[in-house]
Structure 1
Amino acid sequence: MILVFNAGSSSLKYALFEGERCVQKKTISTDDVVREAKKILRSLDHNSIQCIAHRIVHGGTHTRAEYITLEVEKNILKQIPLAPLHNPYELKIVEECKPLDIPQVAVYDTGFFSKLPKKSSTLPLPRDLAKEHNLRKVGFHGISHEFLLEELSQVVGKSKNQVSCITCHLGSGCSIACIENGKPKDVSIDFSTLGGVMMVTRPGNLDPGVLLYLLDEAGLSTKELHEILEYNSGIKGLSGSKDVKKLIEKGDESIDIFCYHVAKFIAMFYGTLKHCDGIVFSGGIAQRSPVVRRKICDELQGIGLVIDETLNKKNATIISSKKHNSPKIFVIPTNEELMIARKALQLIAK
């Protein structure tokens, strides 16, 4: 069996797989993912576990699934400044698993976007500086976006390399991917986990001048600025709360602003595709909230996007309006754990 750990910024997901068949799965909302991982390890029969696979948010130059060695751990540690809400905790869970003497595998969230075209991965900075510090668009949530691509290809009846689409992973962390003929063309989230579309506690794209102003004129230290950007911006910064469900229910303005930010990225990416097989909503916010999906689609009528409200309220797989000949809109629950298990099985089979 494959044990999968998927440690997020606000939850721990784990699953057990026999091949690709899930036999046990749970999501735990927690502020201490390491503590919960210890409980899970104590509850399982270790003799039946062949491999422990981990979602690693930032792998730096490491992009393919690989067995975790000391050198791999050092590389994950090196990326902590770029993924401070994830990499430290993922490493701690790896450490907790070591006494079991079971092979461990790292599956990187950045892997799917490792071969972005240069026109989208290049940051407009001095080339020497960018080369010295390996500054480029990295992209995140790749495990989820790759899974959604594979699922959509089955829904539309095309091979993966024929599918062009926009996938929206909207949860505590958010990213939007532009995929053309089965390959990532662009992604909203950038060099770090702070950029791209507005998120629950992170701001997404900001004018760099705002950051310089806060440092030079407002007198913030880099540590204070880091705290603001990682933990106190985005929806939480605007509303004072990160309880998205309650904010949606009361119609808080922060949700309208969030939906507009998402719509802007969809519109931008849609215009770069020669054709689009569909726009996919997924992640904890998008796959559960008809209100959020409607608000986003209402902002996109200029590209012909019209939602069927009856289907939307039912969380149907296809929620686009046939009456208005809208581009297809899909709601597909992501399954990062299954994708991680697949990657681990492929590695074991080599």
Structure 2
Amino acid sequence: MKILVLNCGSSSIKYKLYDMTGETVLAQGNAERIGLDEAFVKVTLKDGSKEEIMHDMPTHKEGVKFVFDLLLDSKYGALKNLDEIDAVGHRIVQGGDLFEKSCIVTKEVEDGIESLIDLAPVHNAGHLRGLRAVDALMPHTPQVVVFDNAFHSTMPPYAFLYAVPYEFYEKYHVRRYGFHGTSHRYVSQRVCEMLGVDIKTQKIITCHIGNGASVAAIKNGKVIDTSMGLTPLAGLMMGSRSGDIDPSAVTYLMEKLGKKPQEMADFLNKESGVLGITGISSDMREIENADQQGDPKAHLALEMYNYRIKKYIGAYAAAMNGVDIIVWTAGVGENQISTRWNVCSDMDYLGIKMDKERNNCRGKERILSADDSRVKVVLVPTDEEIVIARDTQELILEARK
């Protein structure tokens, strides 16, 4: 079975084509600047090198059409006919409390995703455009949606509700949803396979630390809490997102700066976090370089960044009455050696003992903790696309029975 996985943003389309027989990636790339000037697709070739192809893509329909063209190209693709694609799987950021698991796309499902646009206006609108583009170009190919917040749907009400009048939850669905669920799901399952343990017996804290970042507490295979909230803005300090902040500080700044609600939301999402503190960049590699050159604000940003991750790990260890495994994943979690070391240092009370030599690695599966550490600290590169492909295959095979 061949599965095409699409992750459609407001102006981008990431794609991966899988042969599910061996879960082999046949073709992959990323279309960027859709609807803007100088749109292009960055294609990963069979030898691992990348090539940029300029192509005008006014809408997602043209973007998806060009992706299909590339999949049929002898140099960039792996198909002779689009009929070889058995199904298309999509990442959907916000499923609200309407969707607690992956499902095959129907008119009702599409309407449900559309009804949640207010909760994730940029993301869900982009996802819908991708869904509809595929439907227009390949109307007989089944599509599956995998929701970013679905893995977090096991959180108990006392963890996901905000302390505001209950009617706001009933009327407006205001609650903690959490995101990066597909990643948290993959790495929590994969780490148990690596260590030869049953996920249903483990207390796991998964740290998805990238430009967007979140932490999840997973007890006996189920999420009991996660750091992101109604939107991906809550929780940790991130590349350009503020993370947790006193709501009164927000209204105070709105008055001082004369900002409207959407302007303030943009400010907290795009101009805050590491970027806001340093004034340099939202890229942690640049911040680490600046710190090494003696920039005091870069050093402060790293201290703030690491401290907040440490604080969430401690809170979730308390919530689960202990922790057996801590997993690091995503761009920073997989590659920034100093962040992992500084966060996991001075946590002897939890039984964490790091091994400096083991921690000196990037982007590969590895146990980072010492042999005598009571808590296993492990690096697991994430693979959200394979989770989407597996869910898609499973649902399509079930539907064919």
**Distance (Å, rounded) in 1 between the aligned partners of 2:161 and 2:84:** 45
The residue that corresponds to 1:64 in the other structure is 101
Q: 1:80 aligns with which of 110, 117, 120?
A: 117
Q: Secondary structure at the match of 1:169?
A: strand
Instruction: Check the 8 A contact 1:13/1:25 in 2, yes or no.
Output: no
| In 1, Cα distance between equivalents of 2:356 and 2:147 | 37
- Alpha-carbon displacement from aligned partner over 1:190-217 (angstroms, at most 9, x marks no partner): 1111111111121111111111212344
Please say if residues 204 and 217 of structure 2, whose CA atoms lie closer than 8 Å, have aligned partners that are also in contact: yes
Name the amino acid aligned to 1:201.
Answer: S
Alpha carbons of structure 1 residues 177 and 200: separation in structure 2 relative to 1, 3 Å: same
Cα distance in structure 2, aligned partners of 1:348 and 1:231: 38
Q: 1:50 to 1:117 in 2, by over 3 A?
A: same
2:111 match: secondary structure = helix
Matches within 5 A, 1:307-322: 307-315=354-362, 317-322=366-371
Q: CA deviation at 1:87?
A: 1.8
Q: Which of 141, 155, 166 is the equivalent residue of 2:180?
A: 141
- Counterparts of 1:236-315 in structure 2 under 5 Å? 236-240=275-279, 241-251=281-291, 252-253=298-299, 254-298=301-345, 300-315=347-362
Query: Residues 230, 129 of structure 1: CA spacing in aligned structure 2 closer, same or farther, 3 A cutoff?
Result: same
User: CA shift at 1:24, angstroms?
Assistant: 2.5
* Corresponding letter in the other structure for 2:234: G
TM-score between both structures, scaled by the size of structure 2: 0.81
Q: In the TM superposition, what whole-angstrom CA distance separates every residue of 1:24-44 from its partner, at most 9, and x where no partner exists?
A: 254548454957654322212
Distance 1:208 1:84, change over 3 A: same
Match of 1:24 among 23, 26, 43: 26
- What is the match of residue 69 of structure 2? 42
Does residue 183 of the first structure (1) align with residue 222 of the second (2)? yes
Residue 287 of structure 2 aligns with an amino acid whose one-letter code is L
Q: Is the 8 A contact 2:211 2:283 kept in 1?
A: no
TM-align CA RMSD: 2.3
The structure-2 alpha-carbon separation of the partners of 1:233 and 1:331, relative to structure 1 and needing over 3 Å to count, comes to same
- Deviation at residue 318 of structure 1 after TM alignment: 0.5
Shift of 1:338: 0.7
- Please give the alpha-carbon distance, in whole angstroms, between the structure 1 residues aligned to 2:257 and 2:233: 21
CA contact 1:80–1:87 (8 Å) conserved in 2: yes
Which structure has the bigger radius of gyration?
Answer: 2
Sort the Cα spacing of 1:91 and 1:283 in 2 relative to 1 into closer, same or farther, 3 A: same
Answer yes or no: is the 8 Å Cα contact 2:153–2:223 preserved in 1: no
Q: Is the counterpart of residue 55 in structure 1 residue 91 in structure 2?
A: yes
Change (3 A) 1:345 1:285: same
Identity %: 31
Deviation at 1:244, TM superposition (A): 2.2
1:188 shift after superposition: 0.6
**Shift of the alpha carbon at 1:73?**
2.4
1:8 touches 1:86 (CA, 8 Å); kept in 2? yes
For 1:308 and 1:78, the matched residues in 2 are separated by 48
Tell me, yes or no, if structure 1 residue 89 matches structure 2 residue 126: yes
Aligned mates of 1:23, 1:326 — CA distance in 2: 37
Match in the other structure for 1:334: 382
Matched, 1:228 2:228: no
User: By how many angstroms is 1:301 displaced?
Assistant: 4.6
Call closer, same or farther: CA 1:50–1:83 in 2, change over 3 Å: same
1:3 aligns to 2:4 (yes or no): yes
Letter in 2 for 1:178: A
Tell me which residue corresponds to 2:52.
Answer: none
Q: Deviations over 1:225-279 (max 9, x none)?
A: 0210221111222223122222122222323321111111111101222342210
CA distance, structure 2, for counterparts of residue 78 and residue 167 of structure 1? 30
Contact 2:335 2:361 in 1 (8 A): no
Task: Flag the structure with more relative contact order, 1 or 2, with Cα contacts below 8 A and sequence separation at least 6.
Answer: 1
CA distance in 2, matches of 1:263, 1:37: 41
Which letter does structure 2 place at the counterpart of 1:150?
Q
Rate the CA distance shift 1:17–1:62 in 2: closer, same or farther, 3 A.
Answer: same
For 1:194, the equivalent position in structure 2 comes to: 233
Q: CA deviation at 1:8?
A: 5.9
Q: Secondary structure at the match of 2:121?
A: coil
1:262-321 CA-to-partner distances (Å, cap 9, x unmatched) read 111111101222342210000111111112211222364553433211111134610112
Task: Confirm or deny: 8 A CA contact 1:263 1:299 kept in the other structure.
Answer: no
Q: Contact (CA 8 Å) 1:57, 1:109: kept in 2 or not?
A: yes
**Aligned partners of 1:66, 1:125: CA distance in 2, in Å?**
32
Q: Is the 8 A contact 1:59 1:108 kept in 2?
A: yes
- 2:44 alignment partner in structure 1: none
Change (3 A) 1:25 1:249: farther
Structure 1 unaligned regions, length at least 5: none
Residue pair 2:156, 2:224 contacting (<8 A) in 1 also: yes
